[in-house]
Protein backbone atom coordinates (compact mmCIF):
# COMPACT_ATOMS: atom_id res chain seq x y z
CA UNK A 1 0.00 0.00 0.00
CA UNK A 2 1.50 3.34 -1.06
CA UNK A 3 1.45 6.28 1.37
CA UNK A 4 2.12 9.99 0.85
CA UNK A 5 3.10 12.17 3.82
CA UNK A 6 2.06 15.84 3.82
CA UNK A 7 3.25 18.03 6.69
CA UNK A 8 5.56 20.99 7.21
CA UNK A 9 7.54 19.63 10.18
CA UNK A 10 10.47 17.59 8.87
CA UNK A 11 11.13 15.82 12.17
CA UNK A 12 7.50 14.77 12.48
CA UNK A 13 7.46 13.55 8.87
CA UNK A 14 10.63 11.58 9.53
CA UNK A 15 8.95 9.85 12.44
CA UNK A 16 5.95 8.98 10.29
CA UNK A 17 8.22 7.71 7.53
CA UNK A 18 10.03 5.45 10.00
CA UNK A 19 6.75 4.03 11.30
CA UNK A 20 5.42 3.42 7.77
CA UNK A 21 8.73 2.02 6.53
CA UNK A 22 8.84 -0.57 9.32
CA UNK A 23 5.69 -2.23 7.96
CA UNK A 24 6.16 -4.86 5.22
CA UNK A 25 2.90 -3.97 3.49
CA UNK A 26 3.31 -0.18 3.53
CA UNK A 27 5.68 2.10 1.63
CA UNK A 28 6.18 5.84 1.68
CA UNK A 29 6.21 7.14 -1.91
CA UNK A 30 6.63 10.87 -1.23
CA UNK A 31 6.91 13.59 1.40
CA UNK A 32 5.69 17.15 0.91
CA UNK A 33 5.61 20.23 3.10
CA UNK A 34 2.60 22.28 1.99
CA UNK A 35 -0.87 22.02 0.51
CA UNK A 36 0.07 22.87 -3.08
CA UNK A 37 2.77 20.20 -3.14
CA UNK A 38 0.33 17.71 -1.64
CA UNK A 39 -2.13 18.28 -4.49
CA UNK A 40 0.63 18.03 -7.10
CA UNK A 41 2.10 14.79 -5.76
CA UNK A 42 -1.26 13.18 -5.06
CA UNK A 43 -2.24 13.85 -8.66
CA UNK A 44 1.08 12.55 -10.00
CA UNK A 45 1.51 9.45 -7.83
CA UNK A 46 -2.09 8.49 -6.97
CA UNK A 47 -1.08 6.94 -3.62
CA UNK A 48 -3.48 4.62 -1.83
CA UNK A 49 -3.41 6.81 1.29
CA UNK A 50 -2.33 10.38 2.00
CA UNK A 51 -1.59 11.42 5.59
CA UNK A 52 -2.30 15.16 5.68
CA UNK A 53 -1.33 17.48 8.54
CA UNK A 54 -4.23 19.92 8.95
CA UNK A 55 -1.85 22.38 10.62
CA UNK A 56 0.53 22.74 7.66
CA UNK A 57 0.58 25.90 5.51
CA UNK A 58 -1.19 26.13 2.19
CA UNK A 59 -4.45 24.41 3.13
CA UNK A 60 -6.74 27.24 2.07
CA UNK A 61 -10.26 26.66 0.78
CA UNK A 62 -9.19 26.29 -2.85
CA UNK A 63 -6.50 23.75 -1.97
CA UNK A 64 -8.90 21.82 0.24
CA UNK A 65 -11.26 21.50 -2.72
CA UNK A 66 -8.44 20.28 -4.97
CA UNK A 67 -7.35 17.69 -2.41
CA UNK A 68 -10.92 16.51 -1.92
CA UNK A 69 -11.32 16.07 -5.68
CA UNK A 70 -8.55 13.45 -5.57
CA UNK A 71 -10.30 11.48 -2.84
CA UNK A 72 -11.80 8.97 -5.25
CA UNK A 73 -8.37 7.46 -5.87
CA UNK A 74 -6.56 8.38 -2.65
CA UNK A 75 -7.93 7.92 0.86
CA UNK A 76 -7.07 10.83 3.12
CA UNK A 77 -6.11 10.57 6.78
CA UNK A 78 -5.84 13.89 8.60
CA UNK A 79 -3.59 14.60 11.55
CA UNK A 80 -3.86 17.59 13.86
CA UNK A 81 -2.52 18.78 17.18
CA UNK A 82 -5.93 20.11 18.25
CA UNK A 83 -8.77 17.63 17.90
CA UNK A 84 -11.41 20.36 17.79
CA UNK A 85 -14.79 20.22 16.09
CA UNK A 86 -13.61 22.97 13.72
CA UNK A 87 -10.70 20.80 12.59
CA UNK A 88 -13.07 17.85 12.24
CA UNK A 89 -15.20 20.00 9.93
CA UNK A 90 -12.11 20.84 7.85
CA UNK A 91 -11.23 17.15 7.69
CA UNK A 92 -14.72 16.33 6.49
CA UNK A 93 -14.43 18.94 3.75
CA UNK A 94 -11.23 17.20 2.66
CA UNK A 95 -13.22 14.01 2.29
CA UNK A 96 -11.12 12.44 5.02
CA UNK A 97 -11.43 8.77 5.89
CA UNK A 98 -9.82 9.47 9.25
CA UNK A 99 -9.50 12.30 11.76
CA UNK A 100 -6.56 11.59 14.05
CA UNK A 101 -4.53 13.53 16.58
CA UNK A 102 -0.75 13.64 16.61
CA UNK A 103 -0.68 12.00 20.03
CA UNK A 104 -1.99 8.77 18.49
CA UNK A 105 0.22 5.73 19.26
CA UNK A 106 2.22 4.43 16.29
CA UNK A 107 0.35 1.10 16.23
CA UNK A 108 -2.98 2.92 15.94
CA UNK A 109 -1.67 5.09 13.11
CA UNK A 110 -0.58 1.97 11.22
CA UNK A 111 -4.01 0.43 11.80
CA UNK A 112 -5.63 3.62 10.50
CA UNK A 113 -3.59 3.51 7.30
CA UNK A 114 -4.49 -0.12 6.71
CA UNK A 115 -8.20 0.44 7.21
CA UNK A 116 -8.41 3.75 5.33
CA UNK A 117 -9.39 2.07 2.08
CA UNK A 118 -12.37 0.35 3.70
CA UNK A 119 -15.75 1.94 4.33
CA UNK A 120 -15.07 2.52 8.03
CA UNK A 121 -14.13 6.11 8.81
CA UNK A 122 -11.82 6.52 11.77
CA UNK A 123 -13.62 9.29 13.64
CA UNK A 124 -14.94 9.15 17.18
CA UNK A 125 -18.76 8.75 16.93
CA UNK A 126 -19.19 11.35 19.67
CA UNK A 127 -17.42 13.89 17.49
CA UNK A 128 -19.55 12.83 14.55
CA UNK A 129 -22.73 13.49 16.52
CA UNK A 130 -21.50 16.93 17.64
CA UNK A 131 -20.60 17.82 14.08
CA UNK A 132 -24.00 16.71 12.81
CA UNK A 133 -25.68 18.84 15.48
CA UNK A 134 -23.62 21.80 14.39
CA UNK A 135 -24.41 21.26 10.72
CA UNK A 136 -28.15 20.77 11.22
CA UNK A 137 -29.01 22.87 14.23
CA UNK A 138 -31.37 25.71 13.50
CA UNK A 139 -31.35 25.24 9.74
CA UNK A 140 -33.84 24.08 7.19
CA UNK A 141 -33.22 20.53 5.97
CA UNK A 142 -31.64 19.92 2.60
CA UNK A 143 -34.11 18.49 0.10
CA UNK A 144 -34.17 14.71 0.08
CA UNK A 145 -32.07 13.66 -2.90
CA UNK A 146 -33.51 11.14 -5.36
CA UNK A 147 -30.76 8.63 -4.55
CA UNK A 148 -32.41 7.99 -1.16
CA UNK A 149 -35.37 6.49 -2.97
CA UNK A 150 -33.08 3.92 -4.60
CA UNK A 151 -32.36 2.34 -1.21
CA UNK A 152 -34.15 -0.88 -0.35
CA UNK A 153 -36.09 -1.06 2.91
CA UNK A 154 -33.22 -2.94 4.54
CA UNK A 155 -30.61 -0.49 3.24
CA UNK A 156 -32.70 2.36 4.65
CA UNK A 157 -32.66 0.63 8.05
CA UNK A 158 -28.89 0.26 7.80
CA UNK A 159 -28.50 3.95 6.92
CA UNK A 160 -30.52 4.96 9.99
CA UNK A 161 -28.28 2.83 12.21
CA UNK A 162 -25.12 4.19 10.57
CA UNK A 163 -26.45 7.67 11.35
CA UNK A 164 -26.71 6.64 15.01
CA UNK A 165 -23.01 5.61 14.94
CA UNK A 166 -23.71 1.87 15.16
CA UNK A 167 -20.83 -0.44 14.26
CA UNK A 168 -21.28 -3.36 11.88
CA UNK A 169 -21.59 -5.90 14.75
CA UNK A 170 -24.19 -3.67 16.44
CA UNK A 171 -26.16 -3.35 13.20
CA UNK A 172 -26.00 -7.12 12.72
CA UNK A 173 -27.36 -7.75 16.23
CA UNK A 174 -30.09 -5.14 15.85
CA UNK A 175 -31.33 -6.49 12.52
CA UNK A 176 -30.70 -10.16 13.28
CA UNK A 177 -28.41 -10.72 10.30
CA UNK A 178 -24.78 -11.69 9.78
CA UNK A 179 -21.93 -9.17 9.71
CA UNK A 180 -21.08 -10.04 6.11
CA UNK A 181 -24.65 -9.20 5.12
CA UNK A 182 -24.30 -5.88 6.93
CA UNK A 183 -21.04 -5.13 5.10
CA UNK A 184 -22.81 -5.75 1.80
CA UNK A 185 -25.67 -3.43 2.78
CA UNK A 186 -23.24 -0.72 3.94
CA UNK A 187 -21.32 -0.90 0.66
CA UNK A 188 -24.58 -0.62 -1.27
CA UNK A 189 -25.71 2.36 0.81
CA UNK A 190 -22.44 4.22 0.27
CA UNK A 191 -22.50 3.53 -3.46
CA UNK A 192 -26.11 4.60 -3.93
CA UNK A 193 -25.71 7.80 -1.91
CA UNK A 194 -22.41 8.61 -3.60
CA UNK A 195 -20.54 9.06 -0.31
CA UNK A 196 -17.14 7.70 0.56
CA UNK A 197 -17.59 6.41 4.10
CA UNK A 198 -19.89 6.01 7.10
CA UNK A 199 -19.31 9.48 8.51
CA UNK A 200 -20.36 11.12 5.26
CA UNK A 201 -23.37 8.79 5.12
CA UNK A 202 -24.32 9.83 8.66
CA UNK A 203 -24.01 13.53 7.87
CA UNK A 204 -26.03 12.96 4.68
CA UNK A 205 -28.80 11.24 6.65
CA UNK A 206 -28.99 13.94 9.32
CA UNK A 207 -28.78 16.98 7.04
CA UNK A 208 -31.65 15.62 4.98
CA UNK A 209 -33.68 14.79 8.09
CA UNK A 210 -33.83 11.11 7.16
CA UNK A 211 -33.18 10.34 10.82
CA UNK A 212 -36.22 11.01 13.06
CA UNK A 213 -35.55 13.80 15.57
- Give CA–CA dist 27/168, Å, rounded: 29
Q: Is 14 helix (H, G, I), strand (E, B) or coil?
A: helix
> Residue 96 maps to which CATH number?
3.40.50.2300
Residues 119 and 150 in one domain: no
DSSP 8-state class, residue 28: E
What backbone torsions phi and psi does residue 52 show, to the nearest 5 degrees? -115, 125
Q: Compute the half-sphere exposure of residue 2: CA atoms within 13 Å on the CB side of its CA.
A: 13
**What are the tens digits of pLDDT across the range 73-131?**
788 888 888 666 666 666 766 667 777 888 888 888 888 888 876 655 555 544 555 55
Q: What is the pLDDT of residues 156-208, one digit of tens each?
A: 999 988 887 788 888 999 999 999 999 999 999 988 988 877 777 877 887 77
DSSP readout, 103-154?
T--HHHHHHHHHHTTSS--BS-HHHHHHHHHHHHTTSPPPPPPGGGGGS-HH
CATH assignment at residue 164: 1.10.10.10
Name the residue range of residue 100's domain.
Answer: 2-123
Amino acid sequence: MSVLLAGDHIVFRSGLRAVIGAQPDLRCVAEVGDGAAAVREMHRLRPDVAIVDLDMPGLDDATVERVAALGDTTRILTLTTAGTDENLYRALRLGASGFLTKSLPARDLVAAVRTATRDTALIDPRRTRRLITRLTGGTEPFPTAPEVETLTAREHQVLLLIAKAYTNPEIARTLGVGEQTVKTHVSNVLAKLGVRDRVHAAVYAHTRRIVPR
